[in-house]
Amino acid sequence: MTRTYRLLVSCPDSTGIVATVSDFIARHGGWIVEANHHSDPVTGRFYMRNEIKAESLPFSAEEFKKHFTPIAEKLSLDWRINDSGIPPRVALLASKEAHCLSDLLYRWRSGDLKMEIPCVISNHEDLRSYVEWHGIPYHCVPVDKNDKAPAFEKMTSLLEEHSVDTVVLARYMQILPPQLCELYASRVINIHHSFLPSFVGAKPYHQAYERGVKLVGATCHYVTEILDAGPIIEQDVIRVGHHHLPEDMVRLGKDVEKSVLARGLRYHIEDRVIVDGSKTIILG
Amino acid sequence: MTRTYRLLVSCPDSTGIVATVSDFIARHGGWIVEANHHSDPVTGRFYMRNEIKAESLPFSAEEFKKHFTPIAEKLSLDWRINDSGIPPRVALLASKEAHCLSDLLYRWRSGDLKMEIPCVISNHEDLRSYVEWHGIPYHCVPVDKNDKAPAFEKMTSLLEEHSVDTVVLARYMQILPPQLCELYASRVINIHHSFLPSFVGAKPYHQAYERGVKLVGATCHYVTEILDAGPIIEQDVIRVGHHHLPEDMVRLGKDVEKSVLARGLRYHIEDRVIVDGSKTIILG
Amino acid sequence: MTRTYRLLVSCPDSTGIVATVSDFIARHGGWIVEANHHSDPVTGRFYMRNEIKAESLPFSAEEFKKHFTPIAEKLSLDWRINDSGIPPRVALLASKEAHCLSDLLYRWRSGDLKMEIPCVISNHEDLRSYVEWHGIPYHCVPVDKNDKAPAFEKMTSLLEEHSVDTVVLARYMQILPPQLCELYASRVINIHHSFLPSFVGAKPYHQAYERGVKLVGATCHYVTEILDAGPIIEQDVIRVGHHHLPEDMVRLGKDVEKSVLARGLRYHIEDRVIVDGSKTIILG
Amino acid sequence: MTRTYRLLVSCPDSTGIVATVSDFIARHGGWIVEANHHSDPVTGRFYMRNEIKAESLPFSAEEFKKHFTPIAEKLSLDWRINDSGIPPRVALLASKEAHCLSDLLYRWRSGDLKMEIPCVISNHEDLRSYVEWHGIPYHCVPVDKNDKAPAFEKMTSLLEEHSVDTVVLARYMQILPPQLCELYASRVINIHHSFLPSFVGAKPYHQAYERGVKLVGATCHYVTEILDAGPIIEQDVIRVGHHHLPEDMVRLGKDVEKSVLARGLRYHIEDRVIVDGSKTIILG
């Protein structure tokens, strides 16, 4: 894999933005391997992602920032740049169910998802041996349902100790407290086992069964304080019928959950997502 | 197409139902071309559809009823039998938008959907010429939004005059009054332009846009008194993204709407649907 | 719909192309409403599509060409610019089957596809009345299977008389002669009723049935001299099973054919397709 | 899970088959939890699968055979009965790639696929530690490309020692010799990384890339002596575009491969597949 810098930009739309930014890149010899633009006529904002070969530029991502800042200020850009050579540190949170966790660990160990996994945190011991086979530290942090605060304090410390960038709720089944959502705003990714906004909350497959829907789905979204209402990154569905009981939907749904979570996480890791209020822009 | 009788049965589940019913059919030489069964372990009910070559039986559908009644009573069957040689009379209701209407008229004139269309009813004149080209009577029944009752009385009369079996709301955009829903219970089919139960009511694509979903869909369902809450017959979705405005979703959604409505109507016309409370069983 | 110019560019990849082109557009005040780029690391070519608001530029598409030519020459660009205000003139060729034709005519009359249809040409009379209801000239050009040349000469004349830009084979069922393929290179669009390259040639659904596949599909492609081997624009599939006979596959396939053809034609009409040897780049 | 007997039947179609078989089941108090029928009008054969609660019958699957044999002979049935309480013994064959193997092992250890895995056989050592963590014996049987016979003899012995019912080629990458195909006829399941019959043989994603297809897929099929030509059990596809290189297709394809293989294997394990010449009937 070629090492690249990923430059993400969002700003009020006007003429000349692409010209100015691409001129800056070209002047320094930057070779763009992938570019994606989006103009939103409703909000009047413009979004751009450029993926530039690292070796084609005469400076590091840090130095890029210094040189680019004056331009960014002139154009009123919200922007960030990331170096693909420094993979994000992603903590996985799980409960007892392993379908999403197993799938993500496979994608990590096979190099399919370019990330580091500094630790797995669970409120149960069930998955310890499997995780530890991978050489990844496993922290069991039980949650006392009458006093959840200590568990989330402990978890916050662990995330800090492990210098975690992104938290993935791989069917963690616990609601994170608001301060943790804020601390990792747009960096906590959840997989909800329904096609949101249908069937918010608990037991969505049972709700789907009761309503008699012909498709069930899963939704990968950023976690915010409001349950199951954060910006949606990815969704998919699978066909069901009258012969599927809730437990069949649970089984079929697992396949959708794991693939939707993996796709959503990939967009995040590859710096393709810009959060825009209650929605996401996926550039790529 | 071979002419067939379609026998639909629903009853409390127990041993011997299939044996008894198939013995009755076999004793009279009935050749089953398609059979579908379903046992629901939650409700404890059993559902069965048999499609029998008409010419293999020594009697008509009417006579079948006479001979079968004693068996049906012994087994406490809810049942019906329909003759594929007598196509259902389906009235299409439309407003100004023609995507569903055009698609259904094509399927009718090409023989793809085996039905008669005794009339099209609309609250506007826009589609008259197109419908009349097909040789189908077109009735324009404007709806006064301050006094809707006369329009629906007129419509009810028209449906009766035309001996209508089934009413299809092909994007009709008006809410039918409860008494009409009741009169044609499980015989009024609507296409809703969202993946229900998401986005009930008006402007679902705009609601979908606001929520930032990654798939939009359509739902074909039987109409009941409660808006958009009737038993779902068929659903499907299509992928959308941040670059789709509400009007793009409207355009993309039309393709899903017309195919979902056509599939749902096919199940209904081919006697494959059993309504079971708030849900449907689709046998086939 | 805002009137736009669509600038399509393809050239050897190097740094500075986007900067130079977007600088040209920005210098003249051009407002880019949509931009798509693609770098192909295998062929080393770069592809770009810019959609620019017509009213934001001080010149017409013709004048744009004059001003842009020096830049294009310097960068060795293959390029074209089209004005969305001048819709393409698309001739539809059909035989007896109307599913694709009806669908395209609906999309035309509802404004869903922005094109003109100067004429429909068929080797049969069957669809005359339907087409003429739309106010579109219908030419019946029978093809003598022992001497096809006169028919194709007649057809070529008709296409010229009607100033046709693009020819759509909407299940036309005849093989066009090489000289016609050449005359309208990358401008004749066919819908093949299989998921190419499976089941080239005649009766693809019967071939699919024999092989026992679990999905059947359709392929929209540009026509070249080699049967069913031209650059693919769009494809899709639908699930089938052991209970589907070839005639069922034909029926189900029609729905895929018409939607795949409509999507492929849309890409073409919106100037999103660049033919690159035996393949297509779809920008958007 | 309720323990069930699965009775599969195939025979020349005629009247009275369902009546006779279901009468037999009903007379012994058999509670049918799922029934599926199929009449093939082309071959004139009838297929039936009945899943019967084991505890509702007064005898074992073995005794069922004894009692049912006279009926089966009278009706010229091909038939088999399996006890869901005796899970099949499935050997997994793999090479170096772990996506299918990991997925199947997860489905096994989570109880999602009801099977035993007596051993994993590979021509490489790479996956030993992962497999052995599961407590499953791992046999490395290298294949000498100049003399493959000894490896396949060794493998045949291993399959016999482990009393293997079904062999799954989870991306094994070696062609099995004809005698092994015959020995396990309709019991060796392969996952081919293309939408067959497109792209038979090696490097199908590269072939797909060359042809410029817009969808790539995977095919789960029974292995026969003729490469990639055995009866297809399941297939699926995923959308690709001009921006996907062969290596991207490989990555995307892995997700399809593993889910198609898992679905195909499930049908096999649940006794839902009847092989009918070059095709399969999937009952359920």
For D156-188, the pLDDT digits (tens) are 999 999 999 999 999 999 999 999 999 999 999
Spatial contact of C113 and C142, defined as CB atoms under 8 Å apart:
no
> Which chain C residues are closer than 8 Å to D213 by Cβ?
196-197, 232, 235
What does the alpha-carbon distance between residue B283 and residue B51 come to, in Å, rounded to a whole number? 11
User: Hey, are the CB atoms on D213 and C231 less than 8 Å from each other?
Assistant: no
Contact (Cβ atoms closer than 8 angstroms) between residue D218 and residue D253: yes
Render pLDDT for C46-71 as a digit per residue (tens, 0 to 9). 999 999 999 999 999 999 999 999 99
Dihedral angle computed from the Cα positions of residues D146, D150, D156 and D161, in that order, rounded to the nearest 10 degrees:
-140
Nearest residue, CB atoms, D22 vs list B18, B30, B56: B18
CB-based contact, A22 to chain D, within 8 Å:
no
Give φ, ψ of B20 to 5 degrees.
-65, -50
Which backbone phi and psi does C213 adopt, to 5 degrees? -70, 160
Rounded to an integer, what distance in angstroms lies between the CA atom of residue D159 and that of residue D156?
Answer: 5
Give D-chain residues touching C236 at CB under 8 angstroms: 215
Do D242 and C279 make contact, defined as CB atoms within 8 angstroms?
yes
Q: What is the pLDDT of residue C201?
A: 86
Q: Is C90's pLDDT higher than 80?
A: yes
Tens of pLDDT, residue by residue over D33-43, are 999 999 999 99
Nearest to A133 among D34, D133, D243 (CB): D133
Task: Extract the tokens encoding D267.
Answer: 């049908």
* Mean of pLDDT over chain D: 96
Q: Is the pLDDT of residue A1 over 80?
A: no
CA distance linking residue D24 with residue D77, whole number of Å: 14
Domain B4-83 is classified in which CATH homologous superfamily?
A: ACT domain (3.30.70.260)
Q: Per the CB < 8 Å rule, is D259 touching A254?
A: no
Look at residue D192 in the predicted model and tell me its pLDDT.
Answer: 96
From B51, B108, B91, select the one nearest B266 (Cα to Cα): B108
Among A37, A40, A49, A71, most C C-beta atoms within 10 A, so best to mutate, is A37
Q: What is the mean pLDDT of chain A?
A: 96
B42 touches chain D (CB under 8 A): no
Could you tell me the two tokens for D245? 């290189």
Are C283 and C17 spatial neighbours (Cβ–Cβ below 8 Å)? no
Mutate which of A32, A36, A102, A129 to test chain D, going by most D C-beta atoms within 10 A?
A102
Residue C13 has pLDDT above 80, yes or no: yes
Taking the C-alpha atoms of residue D273 and residue D8, their distance in angstroms, rounded to an integer, is 9
C183 vs D: CB within 8 A = no
Cβ contacts of B103 on chain C, cutoff 8 Å? 103, 106
Residue the block writes with tokens 């077109």: B138
Q: What is the CA radius of gyration of chain C?
A: 21
Q: Is the dihedral of CA A123, A126, A130, A133 positive or negative?
A: positive
Residue among A17, A53, A48, A51 nearest A34 (CA): A51
| Average pLDDT of the segment spanning D200-210 | 93
* Domain locations along chain B: 4-83, 90-282
pLDDT bin (cut points 50, 70, 90) of residue A201 is: confident
**Strand ordering across the sheet containing A188-192:** A138-140, A120-122, A90-94, A166-169, A188-192, A215-222, A232-239
Q: What is the pLDDT of residue B86?
A: 96
Pick the catalytic residue from D13, D228, D248, D276: D228
Contact with chain C for residue D195, Cβ under 8 A: yes
ω into C150 cis (within 30 of 0): no
The answer on pLDDT for C1 being more than 90 is no
Radius of gyration over every alpha carbon of chain D, rounded to an integer in angstroms: 21
Counted residue by residue, chain D has a size of: 284
Over range C97-118, report the average pLDDT.
97
Q: What mean pLDDT comes out for the span D59-73? A: 96
Q: Which of D93, D28, D33 is nearest to D64 (CA)?
A: D28
Put simply, the answer to whether B37 touches D36 (Cβ < 8 Å) is: yes
What mean pLDDT comes out for the span C130-146?
A: 97
Q: Is D90-282 assigned to CATH 3.30.70.1350?
A: no
Query: Catalytic: A276?
Result: no
Is pLDDT at A65 greater than 90 in this prediction? yes
Convert the pLDDT of each residue in A210-251 to its tens digit: 999 999 999 999 999 998 999 999 999 999 999 999 999 999
CA–CA dist B54, C62 (Å, integer): 69
pLDDT of residue D201: 86
Residue A99 with chain D: CB contacts under 8 Å: 106, 110
Q: Which residues of B touch C98 (CB under 8 A)?
A: 106, 110
* CA D135/CA D3 separation, integer angstroms: 26
| Best B255, B258, B265, B269 residue to mutate vs chain C (most C CBs within 10 Å) | B255
What is the per-residue pLDDT for D18?
94
B232 vs A241: CB contact, 8 Å cut-off? no
Q: CA of B142, closest CA in chain D: separation in Å?
A: 46
Residue A197 in contact with partner chain B when CB distance is under 8 A: yes
What's the count of helices (H) and strands (E) in chain A, helices before strands?
A: 8, 13
User: A249-258, pLDDT tens digit by residue?
Assistant: 999 999 999 9
pLDDT for position C28: 96
User: pLDDT tens across A118-170, in order?
Assistant: 999 999 999 999 999 999 999 999 999 999 999 999 999 999 999 999 999 99
Strands B273-276, B232-239: pairing is: unpaired
Residue in C103, C165, C228, C271 annotated catalytic? C228
D250–chain C nearest CA distance, Å = 16
Residue D99 touches chain A, beta carbons under 8 Å: yes
**DSSP alpha helix (H) spans, chain C:** 17-27, 61-74, 99-109, 128-133, 149-161, 178-183, 204-211, 246-269
pLDDT tens figures, C248-279: 999 999 999 999 999 999 999 999 999 999 99
The minimum CA-CA distance between C2 and chain A, rounded to whole Å, is 12
Q: How far is CA B13 from CA A79, B77, B284, D31, D159, in A?
A: 64, 10, 19, 9, 43
* DSSP assigned state of C165: S
Place of tokens 């392929």: C219
A182: how many CB neighbours lie within 10 A of its CB? 12
**What parts of chain B have a pLDDT lower than 50?**
none
Band (A37; pLDDT cuts 50, 70, 90) = very high
User: What is the distance between the alpha carbons of residues B171 and B192, in angstroms, rounded to a whole number?
Assistant: 8
- Lateral strand order in the sheet of C166-169: C138-140, C120-122, C90-94, C166-169, C188-192, C215-222, C232-239
Strands A78-83, A4-12: parallel, antiparallel or unpaired by DSSP?
antiparallel
pLDDT at res. D1:
72
